[in-house]
Chain A
Amino acid sequence: MNNLLVFPLLIPLCTAVILLFFKNSVIGQRWISAIGMLFNLAAAIALIYQVKTEGIQTLHMGGWLPPYGIVFVGDMLAALLVLATSIVGTFCLFFAFGTIGKEREKYYFYPFYQFLLVGVSGSFLTGDLFNLFVCFEVMLISSYALIVLGGTKKQLRETLKYILINILSSTLFVAAVAYLYGVVGTLNMADLSQRIAEVGQSGVLNVIAILFMIVFSLKAGLFLFFWLPGSYSAPPAAVSALFGALLTKVGLYALIRTFTLIFYHEPGITHHWLAWMAAATMVLGAFGAAAYSDIGRILNYNVIISVGFLAFGLAVSSKEALDGVVFYLLHDMVAKALLFIIGGMLMYIAGTGRLKEMGGLIKRYPFMGWMFFITALAIAGIPPLSGFTGKLLIIMGGFQEKYFWLTAVSLASSFIVLYSLIKIFMAAFWGAEMKNVDSLPAVNKGFIVSTAGLCLIVVAMGIGSEWVYQYVSEAGHTLINPAQYINAVLKE
């Protein structure tokens, strides 16, 4: 029993409710949300410390013991992801201060932002499938509001499609939960895992597993990603940075959780499917990233490639590969936020997303240019930076488990990532200068603080891989041995 587990939900929730009362004071809202984020950060760090020293933490809501009550579980994976969420949330918030605009700030931008974090952290911490659905919905409803806030034509149009896709996938989610409850008679993840291990994962349970795979793949943008490029490019940069960093990762987390804890008995069926979907995602994402010459599109297809790569690690499912997945997931959350922030700023400065109309920005914006270069290297996985270790572990796992073709595809997709990002760097920062250079706006303080902070984390995670790895390895250890999780939840 540990009450610390609800703090990552409770703090943003309370912050959001307080924020509702300060509609007209923009400065007040900024201060309150920043302070709330710092508290959240502190809670996440405390949670990691506790998980490290005392093992997996659980909280039984209202004193109802599992499998009957709602239970919150913080294992190392969840704790690390919560920390990454609050880090990304904090820096995107700093970036939002200067760029989101007074009008949006007045119409409850910050409360929605906090509610989104409630949903994301809740999805990571819950130990119950239906509760996962509820947290998903909290996150999605706030994301609907954030994506449409401002109400430009493009936003309205893309939001309609985004909502429709997500309602459909949520409906399928409830249907899958209904089937699972009908077959197994419980929704607590630890209990589910135990009971499925007893009766064996056969016939109908495989169908349910695949239904869950479809649902979570829709949310994660794995193979079924056709909604993603449009909807992520509609909102302003701070919001799409948050989305690119967090939303698909929640879907991936759900995939990881269900296919390492619950449906891990028939890897020949489920994990095989995952592997091929991952390969298709990487290939299609790579085509997209290589083909377009529009910054927004390229960044969105980069999100898709990394989702494919992570799913490949999950499909391999050895200790090495799962360690790699956790490491890469953490790296990707930070690096994607950084990439979207810089990309968004770039589009704002140039007034366009098209690479052909840009050029020579390095002279006026050297900080931004080199920051983008570092980010591109980090995302492609060049050694001293954070992407390398995760990528190395996943690829090592892939070779050890003899997935040669898929490993080759994932390596090739890394080249495309590097190519597409360097394409942006070359076109936007080098070459002939843009015509109206003198009228270009300056970068604001929030941008510098948030990119410098995130960049520092990317570098630190790369150089201090060994130190980060001890935490990641513990998370991987729990993933590969579901018994640990089950014991922590059910036997107390």
Chain B
Amino acid sequence: MELYMSLAIGVIFTVGVYLILSKSLLRIILGTSILTHGVHLLLLTMSKLKTGAAPLLGEKAETYVDPLPQALILTSIVISFGVTSFFFVLAYKAYQKLGTDDMEQLRGNDDE
């Protein structure tokens, strides 16, 4: 199972990087969003996909799932959600004000 997950993460990373390297701002934001998804899956996979009971005291099971990665992923999801939404708003505002969403044209120069 870990192998398939690793392959999936690799594919997601590839897609994310590809999107980030494109010119359009919208694609770049989607790329960052996909990349963070890949990282969350990586967190989940790196701690081994055990099949066990939920990590609660009353379960009386032989094996338990490690709760830490899930806590980390939850935190990371919240943060990436916030950042992505901020990025979207910023991109919209920048598009309104600068009149372009092409990163090539956003290089800028000193004379403004």
Asked whether A and B interact, the reply is yes
Residues of chain A having any CB pair with chain B under 8 Å: 130, 133-134, 137, 141, 144-145, 148, 151, 153-154, 156-161, 163-164, 167-168, 170-171, 174-175, 177-179, 181-182, 187, 230, 294
Across the interface, do B42 and A151 meet the contact criterion of CB distance under 8 Å? no
Closest to A144 in B: B86
Most-contacted residue by chain B among A141, A157, A164, A171 (CB, 10 A): A171
Q: A137-B79, A157-B106 are in contact. Are A181 and B90 (CB under 8 A)?
A: no
Across the interface, do B43 and A181 meet the contact criterion of CB distance under 8 Å? yes
Which of B72, B87, B97, B103 contacts A156, CB < 8 Å? B97
Q: How far is the CA of A171 from the CA of B20 in the complex (A)?
A: 13
In the bound complex, residues from chain A placing their C-beta under 8 Å from that of B112 are 153-154
Across the interface, do A151 and B97 meet the contact criterion of CB distance under 8 Å? yes
Q: How far is the CA of A184 from the CA of B36 in the complex (A)?
A: 22
Closest to B25 in A: A160
In the bound complex, residues from chain B placing their C-beta under 8 Å from that of A144 are 83, 86, 90
In the bound complex, residues from chain A placing their C-beta under 8 Å from that of B35 are 167-168, 171
Which of A158, A170, A294 contacts B110, CB < 8 Å? A294
| Other 13 A-B pairs with CB < 8 A, given A174-B36, A182-B46 | A137-B83, A144-B83, A154-B112, A156-B90, A156-B97, A157-B98, A164-B32, A167-B87, A168-B20, A178-B42, A178-B43, A178-B46, A181-B72
Across the interface, do B39 and A130 meet the contact criterion of CB distance under 8 Å? no
Q: Chain B's interface: helix, strand, loop or mixed, by majority?
A: helix
Across the interface, do A160 and B106 meet the contact criterion of CB distance under 8 Å? yes
Interface residues of B in 32-67 (CB under 8 A from A): 32, 35-36, 39-40, 42-43, 46-48
Q: How far is the CA of A179 from the CA of B68 in the complex (A)?
A: 14
Across the interface, do B87 and A163 meet the contact criterion of CB distance under 8 Å? yes
Q: A130-B72, A157-B108, A182-B46 are in contact. Are A163 and B83 (CB under 8 A)?
A: yes
Closest to B96 in A: A156
Q: A148-B90, A153-B98, A168-B20 are in contact. Are A181 and B28 (CB under 8 A)?
A: no
Across the interface, do B97 and A141 meet the contact criterion of CB distance under 8 Å? no
Across the interface, do A163 and B90 meet the contact criterion of CB distance under 8 Å? yes
Shortest CB distance B29–A (Å): 9
Shortest CB distance A66–B (Å): 13
Across the interface, do A160 and B94 meet the contact criterion of CB distance under 8 Å? yes
Shortest CB distance B5–A (Å): 12
Q: List 13 A-B contacts (CB under 8 A).
A: A134-B79, A144-B83, A145-B86, A151-B93, A151-B97, A157-B106, A160-B25, A167-B87, A170-B79, A174-B39, A174-B40, A182-B48, A230-B108
Decide if B14 is an interface residue (CB 8 Å cutoff). no
In the bound complex, residues from chain B placing their C-beta under 8 Å from that of A133 are 76
List the 5 closest A-B pairs by CB distance, nearest first: A182-B46, A178-B43, A156-B94, A178-B46, A174-B39
Q: How far is the CA of A275 from the CA of B103 in the complex (A)?
A: 34
Across the interface, do A141 and B69 meet the contact criterion of CB distance under 8 Å? no
Q: A151-B97, A160-B106, A164-B32 are in contact. Are A171 and B39 (CB under 8 A)?
A: yes
Q: How far is the CA of A168 from the CA of B29 in the complex (A)?
A: 11
Closest to B35 in A: A171
In the bound complex, residues from chain B placing their C-beta under 8 Å from that of A168 are 20, 32, 35
Shortest CB distance A185–B (Å): 8
Across the interface, do B106 and A175 meet the contact criterion of CB distance under 8 Å? no
Q: How far is the CA of A263 from the CA of B72 in the complex (A)?
A: 22
Across the interface, do A167 and B98 meet the contact criterion of CB distance under 8 Å? no
In the bound complex, residues from chain B placing their C-beta under 8 Å from that of A171 are 32, 35-36, 39
In the bound complex, residues from chain B placing their C-beta under 8 Å from that of A187 are 68
Closest to B91 in A: A160
In the bound complex, residues from chain B placing their C-beta under 8 Å from that of A178 are 39, 42-43, 46, 69
Q: How far is the CA of A177 from the CA of B32 in the complex (A)?
A: 18
Q: How far is the CA of A181 from the CA of B69 in the complex (A)?
A: 9
Closest to B28 in A: A164
Which of A141, A161, A175 contacts B86, CB < 8 Å? A141
Shortest CB distance B107–A (Å): 8
Closest to B36 in A: A171
Across the interface, do B90 and A177 meet the contact criterion of CB distance under 8 Å? no
Shortest CB distance A212–B (Å): 15
In the bound complex, residues from chain B placing their C-beta under 8 Å from that of A175 are 39, 42
Decide if B75 is an interface residue (CB 8 Å cutoff). yes
Interface residues of B in 3-34 (CB under 8 A from A): 20, 25, 28, 32
Closest to B48 in A: A182
Shortest CB distance A416–B (Å): 22
In the bound complex, residues from chain B placing their C-beta under 8 Å from that of A182 are 46-48
Q: A151-B97, A160-B25, A160-B94 are in contact. Are A177 and B72 (CB under 8 A)?
A: yes
